[in-house]
Amino acid sequence: MAFPTEVLAGLGLNRNAPALMHVDLNACFASVEQQANPLLRGRPVAVAAYASPGGCIVSPSVEAKRFGVKVGMTVREGRLLCPGLVVLPPDPPKYRAAHLSLRRIFRDYSPDVEPKSIDEAVIDFAGTPALKRGLVEVAREIKGRVKEDVGCWMRCSVGIGTNRFLAKLAAGLQKPNGLVTLDHANLEAAYAKLSLTDLPGINVRFEARLNAAGIHTPPEFLAASPATLRQRVFRSIAGQQWSLRLRGWEADAVVFARRTYGQNYSIGGGCGDPHELSALLMKMAEKAGRRMRRDGWACRGVHVACVFADGTHWHVGRVRDEPLYATQDVHRRAMLLFNRRPGKRVAKLSVTCYELVKTHREQLALFETRADTMARLADAADAVNDRYGEFLLTPALMLGLEEKVIDRVSFGGVRELEDACGGEPEPPDPRRDY
């Protein structure tokens, strides 16, 4: 919803009935591990990218958070705060299964479900029978179904609001297992208890900008004019969007088109062996290429980036006229770029396919080219791997890489969840009694 500047200047709080719900699965990865293993329940658990002392903690359990363990800490730091901390490596299939179970539950209440990450989703109830029942009652029912369908140890926080921003803010106010509604009746009182960085989307950099304009609290932020926010703070249309957002009007209902498919990998200790680096590039090209082909795309551009063991970085990308579809073609292009790098040990490697173009595989060529042959081989290999297991058929260069560039799930990786889950979940069950 967009408003002219003169309308924004006199725009009050949104007094419509809340129709949006933000659901956040608490301590997602760690809770799923506790659900899968009852012996871990009630104990401080952390899922870390690597279980080694330098590994990064990506999900501490509710019990671990009570000791001060936080996302982003190293395993070493977590164990200093909590000597009894149980550290586990990620198990992505478990987390994706939990994510799909949540989406099936949500789709029973509304067809408009927007996953924000693997552990969060926004549900729009506008025009649904569930809205007439009252969203607080529906939220309590969803919480019960999460325990019933996903697991008895799983807890979620629910926020209800007139826009996505307020629903997300409400979901974070009473963690874990909270249920909060924010609307025109209690919005200003809620802002009075918060700091600027408690607001979703406001980090320390934006806080400094607001402070420089004389805005130090959320109530002052709410009272600031759209002109002040646009001209003095954000210096863009983002200022008007914040005026809408803070007052409960929708400013975030935007779905961005897919632009890239990428893969990155951190190499412990660094690597200077060109054969090993080439093999890693092949596996990364295969993982990115599989997702790209599954969605019906080819790419014209390939980008390669490195972080070296000495802390410096390098990157290069090129776009060509002919689209790339098969893994081997993506790898060949990536290697041509990668060979331009400085001769240093590589600590982190990244490959990205961009400048996407839709493929039209249904058109048969009279005289088949090499690209056509490679595309048919890629489709056949993908079909085998889809049916019998990932990486059953792979390029020979990938042999021996089973423990490298392994499966990962990111909290914000909504696109890769769609890739892994094969698109939309099953539709609502028409037999369900709303």
**Which string of DSSP letters, residue by residue, matches 107-122?**
HTT-SEEEEEETTEEE
Nearest Cα to 20, choosing from 198, 171, 150, 141?
Answer: 171
Scan for tokens 């903690």, then name that residue: 57
Interacting residues of 339 by C-beta distance below 8 A, sequence separation 6+ = none
Residue 365 sits at φ, ψ, to 5 deg, of: -90, 145
Decide if 403 is catalytic. Answer: no
Token pair for residue 272? 């200077």
| CA angle centred on 242, ends 237 and 243, rounded to 5° | 100
Interacting residues of 316 by C-beta distance below 8 A, sequence separation 6+ = 303, 304, 305, 337, 340
**Annotated catalytic residue within 6, 77, 114, 120:** 120
Nearest Cα to 354, choosing from 214, 232, 286, 258?
Answer: 258
Separation CA 266–CA 404 (nearest Å): 9
Task: Look at residue 298 and give its three-state secondary structure.
Answer: strand
Active-site positions? Answer: 120
